[in-house]
Amino acid sequence: MSDLFGVSGNELLDRAAPRLPAAMRGRVGSSRWLIGRLDFRIDQFARLVRARLRADPGYTAVQELPGVGPTIGAVFIAEIGQIERFPSAAHLASWSGLTPKHRESDTTVHRGRITKQGSKLVRWAAIEAVQHIPAGSRLGIYRDRVAERRGRNQAKVAAARELVECLYYALRDGHVRRLQHSRDDRAARLAA
């Protein structure tokens, strides 16, 4: 069972409830009631956000990115604001704290961990979205290649940086050319 509070999970809890002691039955019932109320509020808020952002072309464009749904898209739109304030995709990635530290002196260059300066919500949303990207997509392939060399956590951060760069172009242009182009290239290679 993938979701204890889904349909089959609730049926399981209904079957198990009579065998539980009264105190546990009360606790399970109370928790299920609270989860139901929270789910209602979350759905209500999601509907309000979708209604408010429906006319925003950037909101529609960012949802074309793999792993980005209505909620993560709303986080990106609310946190980033006007994309014109960033001159390039690299500036947006830097502002979100997804670029590595860079120290340079004469001929010595030191690169370190990501800076983590900037918007924590954009950084969180990008890493959350990357974890839901399908393996066959351009960003999923990139994430998996980096994971083989550097490990899963660094791969997530590297793919999140790529996602934020794609996000920049989606917000600036109103669509995601960068990913569409790679799909067309892959289709052409498979056909050849």
- For residue 135, name the pLDDT band (cuts at 50, 70, 90): confident
First to last CA, the chain: 42
Query: What is the number of other CB atoms lying within 10 angstroms of the CB of residue 190?
Result: 7
pTM assigned to the model = 0.73
pLDDT of res. 103: 77
pLDDT of res. 127: 93
DSSP structure string for 140-151: HHHHHHHHHHH-
**142-168 confidence digits (pLDDT tens):** 999 999 998 998 899 999 999 999 999
Helix, coil or strand: residue 2: coil
- Distance in angstroms (rounded) separating the CA atoms of residues 70 and 63: 7
Joined together, the tokens standing for residue 171 give: 């917000």
AA identity, residue 173: D
- For residue 55, name the pLDDT band (cuts at 50, 70, 90): confident
- Distance in angstroms (rounded) separating the CA atoms of residues 20 and 15: 10
**82-132 confidence digits (pLDDT tens):** 999 999 999 999 899 888 877 788 788 777 777 778 888 999 999 999 998
Over residues 45-54, mean pLDDT: 88
Joined together, the tokens standing for residue 2 give: 């993938």
Residue with tokens 């989606």: 170
* Whole-number Cα distances in Å, 130 to 71, 159, 181: 14, 6, 19
* Whole-number Cα distances in Å, 147 to 11, 29, 68, 103, 154: 39, 43, 21, 25, 7
AA identity, residue 25: R
* Whole-number Cα distances in Å, 52 to 38, 43, 47: 21, 14, 9
